[in-house]
Structure 1
């Protein structure tokens, strides 16, 4: 299966910034932070602007967290910007400004989980590690396990399933990691998979079994954005990013009519360190 997917990937893989020769390990780390729960098309312009402004971890570490939050703009889940800033400080202080290539060292950075650590080690440094994301899990579930959808995530089970498929050579392992993700993103999609275009359809266990419906646990559906606390938090964050002086309570009150929900959203931002109370009154982005 690996050789078929690698051949398909070489012919059909998208041209993306983090796949270009010479793309830095720092750029790979930034892209992985940005790609969490955010489509590729939205990430690319933000990534390019970010790396132009902060081409190294030390450059970002020298800037206040508020500037990272402003540059994050509308990408959503702004805690990722704070975590990335803290990770840049840690890289600068602990690793002389060089993104580490060891999975354990990467895991010790703020905001870096198992997927991101392995992705950076594999894609930036060419190390042989199984890298598992949602797309990978879906391809394995269908092609190998004969299930329409993957079971709930399990670090040990998922890594073992990918390790069993991973080629031995570093180069092939790199291409297979990238290729199976790409296959899940473009062909073996969650709804209406394009099985006629799939390079492993002839060996797919799910197709061979007649494409049975998924009967396992159902993933919880995220609540709609409109009217949610996330929307209110976003409105407050937008106001804080635009201001270069404290935003007053009166100004925040104009952003959302429901006082209870507005207070809850603001309290959440304060608890997450995304907003701070100003000594002069009002609220600002964090500066130190």
Structure 2
């Protein structure tokens, strides 16, 4: 079921009013936040909770308040400052985007969807979100939270499809207000509603501003037609890669491969790595082939480079 012409304006009014009263005070939402600050937040928030992003975003913006400041430093510094946000290739994409902004856009974040798409690592979602939130443009922003609200409130499904499909995009386009300012407010409001109230596992339906209009509630809250698969972590290559990255981020010089493989007493023999980071890596007891696979992946992804004395973050 797609919304009729009378339903969408009511959803707009009720959800935007809820957002006005309940939105979190986040620094990238403030009027004085630059387009660069919004761009950085959008990259950091991909697959990462707000609570983890906030301190890193603030440190990042204090150190690199504009694209040129980041572009002037080695990409390895971006990876180091990324800390434990996860998916560190995003740090490399941010650095590459900053370099492109500096070279091609006068050190500024480009303001249109088409221009944003020319930046390294920027896809349709990021381009739409930055054009909307940083420049007030009417763009259809569709993330996981927005898709879930649309699925429940309008189509009566417990969860959106496992991957974004054409029908969901048509629905999102049909729901977007015509007015530029209202469209920006709608994008932010639905996203926040999905993050705080219409959550995936324990929705707070009693707090929802459109409870009386929700198609999913009206249908008796049918169960999802598939079971979402969580991402494993313990024992995976991702865990080992993360532990190796922690060693490299904290090291003052290239870390010999022997130190990464252990034993921990190599630290006392002069390894530049921090003992605690190496201890955490060795405690995983990763098989030799898994550790080598992790190292090869980090080198291939340019998250690390090998010198004559060991591995380090990109120079």
Partner in structure 2 of residue 247 of structure 1:
255
Is it true that 1:8 corresponds to 2:37 in the alignment? no
Give, in angstroms, the shift of residue 192 of structure 1. 2.0
Partner in structure 2 of residue 97 of structure 1:
107
Contact 1:131 1:159 in 2 (8 A): no
Cα RMSD for the two superposed structures: 1.2
Distance 1:95 1:226 in 2: 42
Give, in angstroms, the shift of residue 145 of structure 1. 0.3
Distance 1:47 1:286 in 2: 21
Structure 1 residue runs of 5 or longer lacking an equivalent are none
Which residue of 289, 300, 303 corresponds with 1:271? 300
Larger deviation, residues 267-276 vs 254-263:
254-263
Give, in angstroms, the shift of residue 155 of structure 1. 5.0
Is it true that 1:183 corresponds to 2:193 in the alignment? yes
Q: Could you state the TM-score of these two structures normalised by the residue count of structure 2? A: 0.88
The 5 A counterparts of 1:43-122 are 43-122=53-132
Structure 2 residue runs of 5 or longer lacking an equivalent are 1-10, 263-280
Which residue of 239, 256, 259 corresponds with 1:231? 239
Which residue of 183, 206, 209 corresponds with 1:173? 183
Which residue of 206, 222, 230 corresponds with 2:231? 222
Distance 1:82 1:155 in 2: 28
Distance 2:134 2:32 in 1: 9
- SS of 1:144's equivalent in the other structure is helix
Distance 1:22 1:277 in 2: 42
Give, in angstroms, the shift of residue 211 of structure 1. 1.0
Give, in angstroms, the shift of residue 159 of structure 1. 2.6
Q: Could you state the TM-score of these two structures normalised by the residue count of structure 1? A: 0.96
Which residue of 123, 126, 131 corresponds with 2:136? 126
Deviations 1:55-78 (A, max 9, x none): 000000000011111111111111
Partner in structure 1 of residue 309 of structure 2:
281
Distance 1:273 1:236 in 2: 14
Give, in angstroms, the shift of residue 281 of structure 1. 2.6
Partner in structure 1 of residue 212 of structure 2:
202
Contact 1:121 1:127 in 2 (8 A): yes
Give, in angstroms, the shift of residue 157 of structure 1. 2.9
Structure having the higher Rg: 2
Larger deviation, residues 156-165 vs 172-181:
156-165
Give, in angstroms, the shift of residue 239 of structure 1. 1.1
Is it true that 1:150 corresponds to 2:160 in the alignment? yes
